[in-house]
Amino acid sequence: MPVFQRSCCLHSCWLIAIDLSDSATPQKYHLTRDVYERSSLRQPSFSQHYIIQKLPSYMNNAAVALKNNSIHCSFCAEALLTSIGKLAMNSCYSVLCTRFDSEESFIDHCVEVVCCGYIGHVIKHGENRLLFSETNFINFLERCKIMAMNKRTKRLSDENYLGKSSFSDESSLFSRVYCHHC
């Protein structure tokens, strides 16, 4: 029986398929993992009304968490997937690679996206939405963002002692603290 060896030229990456059809309302963005050779990237089997975009490696942990449904708050997961999809739709791969200087800065961006999305949702659809003037909304948003970043800074400090948390753990912590959809 022959033994096959894997080529050292094979790599894997996360791709996002963006559905441009009019019927894309329920699920516009689809994550998939693909194996490719250095010289070429196979296009996954999606129909012609999709744009396929390769995602930079700093997005790997977020993509894994989204694909494995390990972000338990559907609102947070949807806000994050939409944000990644919009980034991919508006930038080519080389621009995406330079958009964030590290996985940590991308995670900071993810926290802000989910925080802002949640606050916007509460303002639009919450019981107290009429109590917020534009100025109060901006002040409230800034206070929430500062509070989220302070909690993240504390967690990063704790990680120096306890070890690094996974993206899924961090997103679950965020949703338990801030999101009342869960």
pLDDT at 3: 47
Residue 1 lies in a domain: no
Residue 3 lies in a domain: no
Residue 48 lies in a domain: yes
Q: Which of 19-28, 66-75, 135-144 has the highest mean pLDDT?
A: 66-75
Reported as a single tens digit per residue, the pLDDT across 95-130 is 999 999 888 889 888 888 887 777 777 767 766 655
Residue 5 lies in a domain: no
**Which of 125, 149, 120, 150 lies closest to 137, judged by CA?**
120
Reported as a single tens digit per residue, the pLDDT across 6-18 is 445 556 788 888 8
Provide the residue range defining the domain that includes 114. 10-178
The token pair that represents 132 in the structure block: 């917020």
Instruction: Please state the domain count of the chain.
Output: 1
Mean pLDDT of 126-154: 73
DSSP summary character for residue 49: T
pLDDT band at 39 (very low <50, low <70, confident <90, very high): very low
CA dist list (Å): 129 to 76, 83, 96, 136, 170 = 20, 24, 35, 11, 28
Is pLDDT at 56 greater than 90 in this prediction? Answer: yes
Look at strands 29-37 and 10-19 and give their pairing: antiparallel
**31-35, 39-43, 73-77: which range is least confident on average?**
39-43
DSSP summary character for residue 25: S
Residue 93 lies in a domain: yes
Residue 2 lies in a domain: no
The token pair that represents 43 in the structure block: 């296009």
Integer Cα distance of 47 and 17 in angstroms: 10
- Can you say whether the dihedral through the CA atoms of 10, 13, 19, 20 is positive or negative? negative
Mean pLDDT of 79-104: 91
- Could you tell me how far CA 61 lies from the centroid of its own chain? 9
pLDDT at 17: 86
Q: Which residue has the higher pLDDT, 9 or 82?
A: 82
Is pLDDT at 168 greater than 80 in this prediction? Answer: no
